[in-house]
Structure formats: structure tokens, C-alpha cells
Amino acid sequence: MRSGPWIFASGQIPLDPATGQLVAGEIEDQTRRVLENLSAVLFAGGASLGDVVRTTVYVTDLSLFPRMNAVYADFFTADPAPARATVEVSALPLGAQVEIDAIAVVPD
């Protein structure tokens, strides 16, 4: 959703856009797909991952944080990185291991 210069991107889970099916595999595979999906949502609104100022990451197992974070760092390379909260949850839609939402500022 866009409001003025802001994009509020709903949480993305690792769905393959071609099939609509959950991406199977390790947390790294799922995180990569989530961030690719988030990037596409932002692009549709006129922004990119570089315009993100805040994310919330939901994981079903906080012990997987370092592995998720390694992939996350490949996508968010700006310094400073967006503000972020990471929360362990008991379950995510369709059995996903990770979900990420974001707030971005659309560039002028």
C-alpha cells in the first residue's frame, strides 16, 4: 500500500510467483524467495530494497536467525541498514519458516 511517499509492504512469505506454491528447502532458500518477492512488491510501487527504512522479520525458529541473517545481509547492503525487529512465532502461513514486511520511502 502506498501513502504519500511511503510504501507499507505486507508480510511476504516464500511463495514462488510462477506456481503460487511455498518454496521448499532450507531457511536460506525461503529467505531469498521472501526478499525477491518483497523487492518485486516495492518495485511495483516505485521503490527498491535500498529505499527500505524498516522491516519486521518473523521466524518460526530463532535459532535459524544467523542463517536467515546471512541472506538478509546480501539483500540489504546499504549503510546504515534498515531498522529491524525479529520475532519468533509459533507458525506462519502454509508452514513457511520466515515472513518479512517492510516500510520504504519512495525516492523523489
CATH label of the domain that carries residue 13? 3.30.1330.40
Nearest to 92 by CA among 47, 69, 59: 59
Alpha-carbon Rg for the chain in angstroms = 13
Phi, psi of 90 (to 5 degrees): -75, -30
Q: Which domain holds residue 53?
A: 2-105
Q: Is the separation of the CB atoms in 87 and 57 below 8 Å? A: yes
pLDDT of residue 108: 76
pLDDT of residue 107: 82
- pLDDT of the chain along its 108 residues, tens only? 899 999 999 999 999 999 999 999 999 999 999 999 999 999 999 999 999 999 999 999 999 999 999 999 999 998 999 999 999 999 999 999 999 999 999 987
Number of domains in the chain: 1
pLDDT of residue 77: 93
User: Amino acid identity, residue 106?
Assistant: V
For 21, other C-beta atoms within 10 Å of its C-beta total 10
For 102, other C-beta atoms within 10 Å of its C-beta total 27
Distance, CA of 97 to CA of 28 (rounded, Å) = 10
Q: Is the separation of the CB atoms in 102 and 50 below 8 Å? A: no
**Bridge partners for 54 per DSSP:** 83, 103
